[in-house]
Amino acid sequence: MIARGILIAAPRSGSGKTTITLGLQRALRRRGLTVRGLKCGPDYIDPAFHAAATGAPSANLDSFAMPDTLLGQIASGAALGSDIIIAEGSMGLFDAVPGPEGHTGASADIAALLGWPVVLVIDVSGQAQSAAAIALGCMHYDPRIRIAGVILNKVASERHRRLVAQGMERIGLPVLGALPREASLILPERHLGLVQAGETADLHARLDALADAVSAAVDLDAVIAAAGPTLLPAGASSITPLPAPGRRIAIARDAAFSFVYPHVEAGWLRAGATLVPFSPLADEPPPEDCDACWLPGGYPELHAGRIAAATRFLMGLRAFAESRPVHGECGGYMVLGRTLIDADGVSHALAGLLSVETSFAKRKMNLGYRRAVLEADGPLGRAGDALTGHEFHYATVVGQGEDPPLAQVTDPHGSAPAPAGCRRGNVTGSFFHAIAVAG
């Protein structure tokens, strides 16, 4: 059985895609359907909420950073054995970066590739019939995709709903639902997005509340009927997105280290690797029976004092690095450095395995796709290998130190290559989050 699918998208960020997606996923699961969630674009947090809402794994689909083969592999894994895929777009439906057609990072690329109709979520606060003009533009902007309907969000009153619906009727777009303004539908946030699913208090009660609200306001039968067959790319085969850094990989996993893409871990497992989690926040060192260590991104800046005081973890990490590879992504990179300055301006001495010094007190958002070419052999691959990925962090480098760079990176807008990260002995790290080997 190949599941039908639908993409929940919006004309812009902040329209309510995530809350409505989660409400739909949970509501359809409560109907007894086997539901799978997928997330367009580079996002660590939303797939964990999808997994909680559906009771099944979620993953990312990124048309800029992933080749069609990998996109097909991920979509196939979700579509086989499930009844419906409720995928979530990122930013605005057509928001993209320079790239070949179909590989611009736009959510519309995913809808076009996999044949999924789009349900638009439109925040109609401050407008009425004009919302239909926005929807009409979305309907005709990209002939590769089909807008199957619209869900109205932040409706002020029944009169407001009728006015907006009149506009949608004029352009021939079905209104599948209308949600009123309701503060309780807002999930808690922090500087990198939603508070992580595992840290959200009363998560399942919140998801049930979202499902209740969506069930009351949205025609679930119409949403199911709007879903279209999943069209898997021809020639899709099993590939490993990133090389496994070892056979037994010690991977940090707790509230400070949690940003690992599901497709990366799945690829390592398919390659025969074993993942052995440990918790730096619980002062656990990397397990001795592992031959590589991976420190993911996350929120070490929120736990800097606790990590600095985790002597068993830091001493064990240093001993591990004497003979085996250690890699840190983003937050993990910061922990491998000499010091991390927290939001209050307090400096914390950390692992000292790399010469970098970072600060969360001097915040500057760094966001966007990157292409990295490795400068030397290491856990990410061999010298000269190219990887696609992204950066998303607010911390800044306040001291680079003497270590040579890990890679040269460029962005999709034609930037000149610039050094990124650093390496010393068996230790490597950078703010770059790797998604896949570049095609």
Catalytic residues: 330
The label of the residue with tokens 């947090």 reads 45
DSSP states along 246-288? -SEEEEE-BTTEEE--HHHHHHHHHTT-EEEEE-GGGTPPPPT
The strand pair at 248-252 and 274-278 is best described as parallel
CB atoms within 10 A of CB 109: 25
Q: Which residues on adjacent β-strands are paired with residue 79? A: none
Is residue 30 within 8 Å of 211, Cβ to Cβ?
yes
Is residue 149 within 8 Å of 24, Cβ to Cβ?
no
The label of the residue with tokens 């009425």 reads 128
**Alpha-carbon distance values, 367 to 185, 192, 350, 389, 412 (Å):** 27, 11, 25, 11, 12
3-state secondary structure of 75: helix
Is residue 428 within 8 Å of 325, Cβ to Cβ?
yes
Provide Rg for the chain, Cα atoms: 22
**Burial 113-145, CB ≥16 within 10 A → b, else e:** bbbbbbbbbbbbeebbeebbebbbebbeebeeb
- For the chain, first and last CA: distance in Å? 30
Interatomic CA distance for residues 73 and 152, integer angstroms: 33
Is residue 301 within 8 Å of 331, Cβ to Cβ?
yes
DSSP states along 278-321? E-GGGTPPPPTT-SEEEE-EE-GGGSHHHHHT-HHHHHHHHHHH
**Alpha-carbon distance values, 147 to 6, 163, 266 (Å):** 10, 20, 32
Residues in the chain: 439
Interatomic CA distance for residues 180 and 405, integer angstroms: 51
